[in-house]
């Protein structure tokens, strides 16, 4: 039976990417050797790394604008502290829109003062704060573009004199944004790009080198840039699969093309959530994420019936995060409109049974 993978992360990747990746594990580029048993300094792998970095900048329309792309390790969670290590001298600003921003704030507090410029904690992060003021003199302002757990998404980004840093782990490459408004973007690969184990960092070179503290090599963006993202052995397999996914995205027309499909998927699901008396959405309508839709059954007694139908329909990974409960449908780039259609059919069936 066809599975429809709505998992929040690690998550669905394009089938053709998985097939190519599986071939490379056995025989990479017809070399008779596996991708994961050759030197990361071999010509073939250096090419993969260079392609992956170039594709990331190209898709985000950041080529020739002073940015470097890096593939680092330690997940987005390591970026929580690496950002502060490299940028926080005295005072930083954070918009607290959920669990991930909250964790980023905790790490930054090891390095200096953190001003929470806005927070939606009072409503368990079901909305995006608006109308907040950003203090002067921040070393940087940190945002989370999409709140994977709560299903909210920043539709507009605040203007600030301070460098703008954004955790885009769960919606990078999903929608058109002027990416040049950011000075640093980071994203764990496992939400919209590849397997867990690589983290994409895009950084504007001119904003680096401003803090007075000494930075250990592995934590220093400038070191990674100077070594072309090969200061230490990179995560070869995750970087390779990320490259294939980025190439897949480019071949289908880039972010503009995928955004059109992502919008259709989100519209289809949210209109079912809004029209059906059997379901209610979790996030504030204006702030809803196109990547992660959070919702609940209005009548909990129908839980077993719903979950049985999901199982029969091959729907995988729909359980909400433990801090929100209910359901969460993650509709990353590789998920087809047809899969969302299958889920919506099941939800309509619930309406008839309710």
Ligand X SMILES: *Cc1c(COP(=O)(O)O)cnc(C)c1O
254 in contact with ligand X (CB under 6 A): no
- Contact with ligand X (CB under 6 A): which of 144, 192, 242, 262? 144
Cβ proximity to ligand X, 297 vs 329, nearer residue: 329
Q: Do 174 and 333 meet the contact criterion of CB atoms below 8 Å apart?
A: yes
Closer of 148 and 294 to ligand X (Cβ): 148
> Out of 5, 6, 9, 128, which residue is the one contacting ligand X (CB under 6 A)?
9
**170 near ligand X, rule: CB under 6 A:** yes
Q: Which residue is nearest to ligand X (CB)?
A: 75
Q: Catalytic site residue 100? A: yes
169 binds ligand X (CB under 6 A): yes
DSSP of 31-66: SSS-GGGS-TTSHHHHHHHHHHHHHHHHHTT-TTTT
What backbone phi and psi angles, to 5 degrees, belong to 98? 150, -175
- The number of C-alpha atoms within 13 Å of 239 and in the hemisphere containing its C-beta is 26
Give the pairing type, strands 141-144 and 91-96: parallel
Tokens representing 311 are 């199982």
Number of residues that bind ligand X (CB under 6 A): 12
The reply to whether 153 sits near ligand X by the rule CB under 6 A is: no
Tokens matching residue 105: 């704030």
- For ligand X, the closer CB: 78 or 296: 78
Tokens of 100: 């991930």
Contact pick of 4, 53, 191, 204 for ligand X (by CB under 6 A): 191
Nearest Cα residue to 151 out of 122, 130, 121, 125: 125
Q: Tell me whether residue 345 is one of the annotated catalytic residues.
A: no
259 binds ligand X (CB under 6 A): no
Among 77, 109, 284, 342, binds ligand X (CB under 6 A): 77
x-marked contacts with ligand X along 85-104 as a string, rule CB under 6 A: ---------------x----
Tokens 């230490």: give the residue.
232
Tracing tokens 């001003």 back to the chain, one arrives at: 115
Which range, of 166-174, 265-273, 309-317, 346-354, touches ligand X by CB under 6 A? 166-174
- Does 188 bind ligand X (CB under 6 A)? Our answer is yes
Q: Out of 10, 14, 75, 314, name the contact with ligand X by CB under 6 A.
A: 75
Catalytic pick from 100, 139, 248, 287? 100
77 vs 336 by CB, closer to ligand X? 77
Question: Can you spell out the DSSP letters for 152-214?
Answer: EE-SS----SSPEEEE-TTTTTSS---GGG-SEEEEEGGGTTSSTT-EEEEEEGGG-S---S-
Of 75-83, 172-180, 305-313, 328-336, which part binds ligand X (CB under 6 A)?
75-83
Q: Is 29 in the site for ligand X (CB under 6 A)?
A: no
Smallest gap from Cβ 289 to ligand X, in A, equals 11
- Cα-Cα-Cα-Cα torsion 56, 60, 64, 65, nearest 10 degrees, comes to -120
Question: Exposed (0-12), middle (13-18) or buried (19+): which is 201, by Cβ within 10 Å?
Answer: buried
Q: Report the alpha-carbon distance of residue 18 to residue 141 in Å, rounded.
A: 37
Give the active site residue among 68, 183, 191, 248.
Answer: 191
What is the DSSP code (8-state) at residue 262?
A: H
Q: Could you say which of 139, 167, 183, 287 contacts ligand X (CB under 6 A)?
A: 167
The answer to whether 218 and 229 are in contact (CB under 8 A) is: no
Task: Specify the residue, 4 or 191, whose C-beta has the smaller distance to ligand X.
Answer: 191
300 in catalytic set: no
Using CB under 6 A, list all residues that contact ligand X: 9, 75-77, 100, 144, 148, 167, 169-170, 188, 191
> Active-site residue numbers?
100, 167, 191
């Amino acid at each position: 039976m066809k599975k429809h993978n709505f998992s929040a992360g690690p998550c669905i990747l394009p089938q053709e990417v998985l097939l190519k990746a599986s071939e490379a594990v056995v025989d990479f580029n017809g070399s008779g050797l596996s991708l994961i048993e050759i030197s990361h300094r071999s010509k073939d792998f250096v090419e993969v790394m260079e392609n992956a970095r170039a594709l990331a900048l190209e898709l985000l329309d950041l080529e020739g604008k002073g940015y470097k792309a890096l593939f680092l390790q330690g997940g987005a969670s390591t970026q929580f502290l690496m950002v502060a290590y490299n940028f926080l001298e005295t005072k930083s600003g954070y918009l607290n829109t959920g669990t991930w921003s909250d964790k980023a704030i905790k790490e930054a507090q090891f390095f200096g003062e953190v001003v929470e410029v806005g927070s939606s904690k009072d409503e368990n992060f079901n909305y995006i704060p608006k109308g907040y003021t950003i203090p002067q003199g921040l070393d940087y302002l940190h945002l989370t573009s999409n709140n994977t757990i709560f299903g909210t998404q920043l539709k507009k980004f605040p203007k600030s004199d301070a460098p703008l840093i954004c955790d885009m782990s769960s919606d990078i490459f999903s929608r058109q944004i002027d990416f040049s408004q950011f000075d640093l973007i980071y994203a764990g690969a496992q939400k919209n790009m590849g397997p867990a184990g690589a983290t994409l960092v895009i950084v504007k070179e001119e904003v680096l080198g401003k803090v007075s503290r000494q930075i250990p090599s592995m934590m220093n963006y400038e070191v990674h840039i100077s070594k072309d993202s090969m200061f230490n052995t990179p995560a070869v397999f995750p970087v390779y699969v990320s490259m294939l996914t980025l190439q897949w995205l480019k071949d289908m027309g880039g972010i503009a093309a995928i955004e059109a499909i992502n919008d259709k998927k989100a519209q289809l699901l949210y209109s079912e959530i809004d029209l059906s008396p059997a379901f209610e959405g979790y996030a504030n309508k204006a702030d809803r994420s196109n990547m992660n839709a959070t919702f609940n059954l209005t009548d909990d007694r129908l839980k077993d019936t719903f979950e049985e139908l999901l199982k029969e329909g091959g729907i995988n990974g729909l359980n909400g995060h433990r801090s929100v409960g209910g359901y969460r449908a993650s509709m990353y780039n590789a998920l087809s409109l047809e899969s969302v259609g299958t889920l919506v059919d099941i939800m309509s069936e619930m309406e008839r049974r309710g």
